[in-house]
Amino acid sequence: MPLETRARGGLPLLPAAAFVAVWASGYIVTPIGVDAIAPLWILAMRFALAGGLAALLALALRRRVGASRRDLGRIALVGVVLNGLVFSAMFSAFGLGLDATFGALVHSLSPVLTVVLAGVLLRERLTRTQVGGFAVGVLGVLIVLVPDLQGTGGPVAISLAFLSLLGLSLGTLGQRWIGDAPDPLWSTAVQCAASAPFVAVLALLVERGPVVSDPVVGVAALAYMVVGNSLAGLLLLGLLVRAGGAGAASSTFFLMPPVTAVLAYVFLGDRLGPVELVGLVVAAAGVAAATLGARPRDAGPPPVAGG
């Protein structure tokens, strides 16, 4: 089979598959990590380390920043929303017991919600397929949610997951405010540098009790989040964007929940009942219908810090 073999939508198959696996793995590692280190503290450490490593890598590769001070300020502000708010809410939800597959399922709606919000807030054109796909996706989420509300983490965890979804879509729209795209490594460094103190202050205000309960597991999970989710995810995302445009990665989002479900079964022992499986299929079908045929502008890529 030639190296140019491509997935549907013109994406190179191997990088697309690797991106899905790396992104989905974040929903498995995060519940493990927040059991070992308090959710907001491990997230603050993740951003600090990922930002530092991204800056060092950019310097080693002699990458130009490619952005003015004004644009850097905008990148930082968008980063606080796109990374600080989104991941603070989702990490806290996992700390309260949110199911890994449900977290991935909620986030999988973000490319379609972004398109819907762009239509409502920015008066961009919406197609019936996009609106219908979003509705079907939400229906699938509700099918998964209704049978076992407590098993999915309870009302507070679920509310935080949907807050994370809203922040993800608003932050994606906010990236258009930045202007010309700067170097992705420097963008990651700036956004993580802005997000780390925001999350640390939030941790000081919100979290109580011991910060670290299992240092070995916590450090291992943190290392994977930084190197795997943040940096490897960023490099894979860059490959997909160069191959298929800015919305390329979003066309893979319908695969995240089923892949996460398989990983959660293997590594966490999570099981889905027949109703939850139906909901998973319905949601994935809705997101797939709305994103696979979308124009490149319709849905921006996910946040650079990874899943």
At 246-260, the pLDDT tens digits run 555 677 888 889 999
The yes-or-no verdict on residue 88 having pLDDT over 90 is: yes
pLDDT of amino acid 30: 95
Lowest mean pLDDT segment, chosen from 33-37, 197-201, 256-260, 297-301: 297-301
Q: Which two tokens stand for residue 200?
A: 């640390």
Bin 231: left if φ > 0, else alpha if -120 < ψ < 50, else beta: alpha
Please give the average per-residue pLDDT across 97-110, as a whole number: 90
The yes-or-no verdict on residue 3 having pLDDT over 70 is: no
pLDDT of amino acid 244: 62
**Per-residue pLDDT band at 306 (split at 50, 70, 90):** very low
Q: How many CB atoms sit inside 10 A of residue 242's CB?
A: 11
The yes-or-no verdict on residue 15 having pLDDT over 70 is: yes
Q: Is 68 helix (H, G, I), strand (E, B) or coil?
A: coil
Q: Output the average pLDDT for the chain.
A: 83
pLDDT of amino acid 299: 47
Q: Is 37 helix (H, G, I), strand (E, B) or coil?
A: strand
Whether residue 221 contacts residue 105, with contact meaning beta carbons closer than 8 Å, is answered with no
pTM of this prediction?
0.88
Q: Which two tokens stand for residue 129?
A: 């397929």
**Per-residue pLDDT band at 32 (split at 50, 70, 90):** very high
Where do the H-state alpha helices sit in the chain?
13-36, 39-60, 69-79, 86-95, 100-108, 110-121, 128-145, 154-174, 184-206, 215-224, 233-244, 256-263, 274-291
Q: How many CA atoms lie within 13 A of 243 on its CB side?
A: 22
C-alpha span between 277 and 85 (Å, rounded)? 29
Question: pLDDT over 70 for what percent of the chain?
Answer: 84
Which distant-in-sequence residues (6+ apart) come within 8 Å of 96 by Cβ? 153, 154, 156, 157, 160
Higher pLDDT, 151 or 163: 163
C-alpha span between 54 and 69 (Å, rounded)? 19
Q: Mutual orientation of helices 86-95 and 184-206 as an angle, nearest 10°?
A: 50
pLDDT of amino acid 297: 47
Lowest mean pLDDT segment, chosen from 99-103, 189-193, 268-272: 268-272
Count of residues making up the chain? 307
262-272 pLDDT tens trace:
999 999 888 88
